[in-house]
Structure 1
Amino acid sequence: MARKIGSRYTAYQILGRGSAGTVWLGEGPDGAVAIKLLRDDLSADQELVGRFVQERAALVSLDHPHVVGIRDLVVDGNDLALVMDLVRGVNLRSRLDRERRLPPGEAVAVAADIADALAAAHAAGYVHRDVKPENILLDESTGAALLSDFGVAKLIDEPSRAGGRRVVGTPDYVAPEIVEGLPPRAAVDIYALATVLYELLAGFTPFGGGHPGAVLRRHVTEAVAPLPGIPDDLWRLLHQCLAKGPASRLRAGEVASRLRELLPHLAGLPVLDIDEPDTEPAPAPAPTGYEDHQEPLPARSAVPLVQGATAADPESANRDTHTSMRVPGPQELAGGALGTARAPRAPGLPRAGSARHRAAERRRRLKLAAVATVAAATLGVGGWLALGGDDGDSSKPAVDQSTP
């Protein structure tokens, strides 16, 4: 059923849903468009509407071939909508769901396009704050990757809306400085992009898995695990962009340039041969002040990390766009990791701490004990032979080999 959006646009068909709103296929004066109609509670917030209106000119001015352009902003009654360029294709999450991981060359090409987009945005004074596969569109006509949802995280992430210090993002892709309560700078986008690239290569994010509180802790406290079989130059670049300190990361333009330099060397390489993460259940987490759920939590969703918050309806969310999170305190961050980290490993090797790993450790210890026993027995026989005995009788005279 058609729906009027303001006086110039008509929405015809729902293309997707996220926690920030619903994306429609629409028509405007210049042809087909995508219309992001924001949630009712957002459109009812007059302060938020005012911020959108103030930011309109800057959002519309961000023109780059790897950015999904915003053409217009509509404020009409209860409707608050962003009118965007229509990109015919799928988002990167859909492709990952279908293929699990990409060959290094294809993964790097996508990341290079998004790094170019971030370089343009950062030069214009914009930090995206929510770089992840759901916000990366793959244009089927050109093969290019485009970054979408600029401005939404910034405008929604305000203390007045959250009743205290909150961040808007997705736990798997949040930079350590955000978890520690520092203001988001351009480096948070580099960290998120490197996390996306890691996921494209491995099939899972470097710190994801288990309870969202554990994911946040790992960003701050754990080192990224190397990927088996990854080319050295690509790993060094990825490792630098996942540095805990923002100042240690490269700038977006440098990332784009170095990724494109690597492309010729990655052509034709197959996907990395990495085992899938184990699916055995993780031990129950100890209370951290985050929990407000009785059901198991998914790896990625709009999970509230503060008691009393409500998650987005899973039936109306397509791997939801934003999560509102309370910044955890120092004591919470100091706790041990909860849940199961999905560390990469070569095929056939068990995950550390898993049942397979414990069984392998027991076999290894038994083998070492057997080797030690054999070694001890060998040393005992050798010592006995050195004494010249064959039956332990010391009364036999020794042969005198001295010269008379």
Structure 2
Amino acid sequence: MLQQALARYPFDLPGYYLLKVLHESDNAIIFLANNPAGLPVAIKRFKFDTSKLGKSLVEEFLMETRALELLNHRGLVKPLAAGIASHALYMAMEYVPGTTLRRALTTTPIPPLEQALRWLEEIALALAAIHGIGLLHQDLKTSNILVRQDNSLALLDFGLETRLLVASGFMRMDEIYCTPYYVSPERIMGDAPDERADLYALGIILYELLAGHKPYESTSLGELLKKHAIAPIPRLPDTLSGYQPLVSGLLAKFPENRVQSATEVVRLLHEIRAQQAV
């Protein structure tokens, strides 16, 4: 599989030894590699044509990658380096062995409540960290969250490359670059995302952790998007009703009615847990 991937998307980074393909998506291939010190790293090699990108846009991407590296937050998969090699843009990242939250939930659809709430707080704190330096995730979903070997979480696939995908012609400006199950109503309408779009996706994940399924489901893309836009916010089981205000606050249809920050999510979660303990 490695040689087949390299035949289609050549990549050679001096000092790094590619071992295997970890994942392939529409816009990138992620390789497992050893760095010059012989330590494992993950390298994301983007598929789009870098010749169509302006120098300033690439430099902005590299600066944002560096900002995340300096942030050094455990709830984020840490970028280690970025640049252009073999005429392709790449990002070398911390290698996190384990599984994704999506896969973990296929074996245990409803995790113990304490585990679910701890995971919610970890995701919210990671979002607060990237929002705090002016970045958005823009594609938050359970398959973009890794479960570390100590059972803590780390967010993956930040929205750094969205502007690059548009500039390279790989996607159109009006395309929704996120998974339909987690897309906010305002993004469906074509509005520019802000922190509250990430918080809507967090609300989807919270409901999924507590109820064992997504709040809106359909085999039809159009019907699914319609549910995000106009369907009532679903109710949690009575035994979890104390967490309904937080779910409703995150899944509000209009961003101005939503919980306004990831820090506020953590504060509200602590308040609810304190009330539940009384």
TM over 0.5: yes
Counterpart code for 2:27:
A
Give the equivalent residue in structure 1 for 2:42: 34
Task: Indicate yes or no: 2:177 matched with 1:168.
Answer: yes
Task: Indicate yes or no: 2:159 matched with 1:147.
Answer: no
Give the equivalent residue in structure 1 for 2:227: 218
Give the equivalent residue in structure 1 for 2:67: 61
Task: Indicate yes or no: 2:138 matched with 1:129.
Answer: yes
Task: Indicate yes or no: 2:107 matched with 1:101.
Answer: no
Structure 1 vs Structure 2 CA RMSD: 2.5
Give the equivalent residue in structure 2 for 1:376: none
Going from structure 1 to structure 2, the CA distance change for 1:214 and 1:98 (only over 3 Å counts) comes to: same
Counterpart code for 2:154:
L
Contact 1:74 1:82 in 2 (8 A): yes
Where do 1:192-211 residues align within 5 Å? Answer: 192-211=201-220
Give the equivalent residue in structure 2 for 1:327: none
TM-score by length of 2: 0.85
Contact 1:128 1:153 in 2 (8 A): no
Give the equivalent residue in structure 2 for 1:51: 57
Measured after TM superposition, the shift of residue 187 of structure 1 is 0.2
Higher mean C-alpha displacement, 75-84 vs 233-242: 75-84
Where do 1:225-264 residues align within 5 Å? Answer: 225-250=234-259, 251-262=261-272
Contact 2:182 2:200 in 1 (8 A): yes
Find the aligned partners of 1:11 and 1:262 in 2 and give their Cα distance.
47
Find the aligned partners of 1:104 and 1:48 in 2 and give their Cα distance.
48
Structure 2 unpaired stretches of 5+: none
Contact 1:43 1:49 in 2 (8 A): no
Contact 1:59 1:151 in 2 (8 A): no
Where do 1:1-400 residues align within 5 Å? Answer: 5-30=12-37, 31-39=39-47, 42-44=48-50, 46-47=52-53, 51-62=57-68, 63=71, 64-140=73-149, 142-152=150-160, 154-156=162-164, 158=166, 161=169, 162-163=171-172, 165-250=174-259, 251-262=261-272
Q: Find the residue that maps to 1:204 and give its secondary structure.
A: coil
Counterpart code for 2:268:
R
Q: Could you report, residue by residue, the CA deviation over 1:326-364 in whole angstroms, capped at 9, with x for unpaired residues?
A: xxxxxxxxxxxxxxxxxxxxxxxxxxxxxxxxxxxxxxx
Find the aligned partners of 1:120 and 1:237 in 2 and give their Cα distance.
20
Find the aligned partners of 1:266 and 1:34 in 2 and give their Cα distance.
41
Find the aligned partners of 1:103 and 1:156 in 2 and give their Cα distance.
40
Counterpart code for 2:34:
E
Find the aligned partners of 1:79 and 1:199 in 2 and give their Cα distance.
37
Matched residues, number:
264
Going from structure 1 to structure 2, the CA distance change for 1:164 and 1:38 (only over 3 Å counts) comes to: closer
Q: Could you report, residue by residue, the CA deviation over 1:2-25 in whole angstroms, capped at 9, with x for unpaired residues?
A: 876322322212222323322221
Counterpart code for 2:188:
V
Find the aligned partners of 1:179 and 1:101 in 2 and give their Cα distance.
29
Measured after TM superposition, the shift of residue 44 of structure 1 is 4.8
Going from structure 1 to structure 2, the CA distance change for 1:164 and 1:73 (only over 3 Å counts) comes to: closer
Q: Find the residue that maps to 2:129 and give its secondary structure.
A: helix
Contact 2:76 2:154 in 1 (8 A): yes
Structure 1 unpaired stretches of 5+: 268-404
Going from structure 1 to structure 2, the CA distance change for 1:159 and 1:38 (only over 3 Å counts) comes to: closer
Going from structure 1 to structure 2, the CA distance change for 1:265 and 1:25 (only over 3 Å counts) comes to: farther
Structure whose residues are more often helix by fraction? 2
Contact 2:83 2:89 in 1 (8 A): yes
Find the aligned partners of 1:156 and 1:53 in 2 and give their Cα distance.
11
Contact 2:200 2:250 in 1 (8 A): yes
Q: Could you report, residue by residue, the CA deviation over 1:7-65 in whole angstroms, capped at 9, with x for unpaired residues?
A: 232221222232332222111135221111222xx145532786344221222222211
Give the structure with higher Rg (CA). Answer: 1
TM-score by length of 1: 0.60
Find the aligned partners of 2:121 and 2:49 in 1 and give their Cα distance.
35
Find the aligned partners of 1:264 and 1:8 in 2 and give their Cα distance.
52
Contact 2:12 2:86 in 1 (8 A): no
Higher mean C-alpha displacement, 205-214 vs 252-261: 252-261
